[in-house]
Amino acid sequence: MSSEPAEPTDAELRAAFEEQLRHITALDVIVQTAVSLVNLAGRRLGIAPGTEHERDLAQVQTAIDATRALMPVLEQHEGAETVAPLRDALSALQLEYAKQAQAPGGSTAASPPGTTEPPQPAPAGRGAPSDPSKPDAGPAQSSGRLWIPGR
């Protein structure tokens, strides 16, 4: 006789999955998605030892944009103890992304790695600062500093 438990059947796995779905909420999925995006972006920045070869600033920008899109929903429904660490991690990612994108050899989504085109500004409304030379630029745009919500 073997003391190892038997592998669950497909029906048992399906029943366990159904039970989990009965208890999970949309907010649980949104929080987990935001955490996954933050973790992926951190890895794609290539700053952790052993991840240098995974650097992909276009993926980082997509992950940051998606996380930023989820934040208003989380801020509306979740407590500060859930949202604050995500906001802090997102801010750190944005700063590191900006450093790497401006560094020699850095690239952005508008200019994928390996191209020789100069980076193009992001479309308006996506967090890119306005051109400070424009007369209608306000103090936030003309400072050139990264705006981080809630700070």
Give per-residue burial for 121-130: e unless 16+ CB within 10 Å, then b: eeeeeebebe
pLDDT given for residue 48 in this prediction: 84
Q: Is pLDDT larger for residue 107 or for residue 30?
A: 30
CB 91 within 8 A of CB 71: no
| Nearest Cα to Cα of residue 151 among 94, 58, 106, 88 | 88
Residue-level pLDDT at 145? 53
Give the pTM.
0.62
Query: One-letter amino acid identity for 151?
Result: R
Q: What percent of the chain shows pLDDT beyond 90?
A: 54
Which of the 8 DSSP states describes residue 53? G
Using one digit for the tens of pLDDT, what is the confidence trace for 44-101?
999 888 988 999 999 999 999 999 999 999 999 988 888 999 999 999 999 999 999 9
